[in-house]
Amino acid sequence: MSTVELIQICAIIIALAIAIIGHEIMHGYVAYRYGDTTAKNQGRLSINPLVHIDLVGTIIVPALLYFSHAGFLFGWAKPVPIHIPTVIKNGGYNGAIAVSLAGVSFNFLLAISATILLNFIPSVTSLSTLFLHSLLTYTVIYNVVLGIFNLLPIPPLDGSNVVVYQAKKMGYHTFADKYQSIGQYGMIILIIIIATPLANIIFAPISSLLQVLLG
């Protein structure tokens, strides 16, 4: 393995870790702002990556996708524990929606920030500038992928939680409960989407946004 390849792999690992771990921390932080101390009490608001690593989602899945040349990487950290009743008690269903959107908001904000910083990087003339350029580029890519993917209204993704809490806010509790129950089939649905031409539904907006940000 060449030095350049090693630098790019390190950039990929760091960018993906920041994207998925930051996503989870923000869920817990916004919940904390609404009075839910569950994540804080369990040490899950820490930036220490070790407390957030999920063996399958943080290590195995990204590694398999990378070494199989899948063309994209995806992963997840251990979900941050949130006590939604406390959030709803203090912030109503708007608070629950804010908690649901906290992770993707972090991802999109980080993607935009990395895009801006890329414009200040000089030409890649050394290993250090290569690493920095690679890190920022992959930060844009993975945060866009995670942000858009998690907005899908498929339980248990964040987008589905927004649908559920918005429905409950409007008084459609029966619909919300039935919709939430789809979560037991969520992974199967996601696998079907990713493994079929339906994946274009996901990758089209991802490609469009990356084109805007990275050109």
Residue 5 has pLDDT above 80, yes or no: yes
Confirm if 99 and 34 have CB atoms less than 8 A apart.
yes
Residue 70 domain boundaries: 3-214
Calpha distance 117→149 (Å, rounded): 24
Residue 1 has pLDDT above 80, yes or no: no
Calpha distance 14→75 (Å, rounded): 13
Which sign, positive or negative, has the C-alpha torsion 54, 55, 58, 62?
negative
SS3 110: helix
Angle at 69 between CA 192 and CA 8, to 5 degrees: 130
pLDDT of residue 71: 64
| Mean of the per-residue pLDDT values of the chain | 90
Least confident range from 20-29, 72-81, 109-118, 144-153: namely: 72-81
Torsion of CA 114, 97, 21, 214, to 10 degrees: -20
Confirm if 164 and 200 have CB atoms less than 8 A apart.
no
pLDDT bucket at 195, cuts 50 / 70 / 90: confident
pLDDT of residue 201: 80
pTM (global) more than 0.75: yes
Average pLDDT of span 160-179: 95
Calpha distance 156→172 (Å, rounded): 19
Q: Residue 18 belongs to what H/E stretch?
A: helix 3-33
pLDDT bucket at 82, cuts 50 / 70 / 90: very high
Residue 77 has pLDDT above 70, yes or no: yes
pLDDT bucket at 80, cuts 50 / 70 / 90: very high
Confirm if 201 and 140 have CB atoms less than 8 A apart.
no
Domains identified in the chain, total number: 1
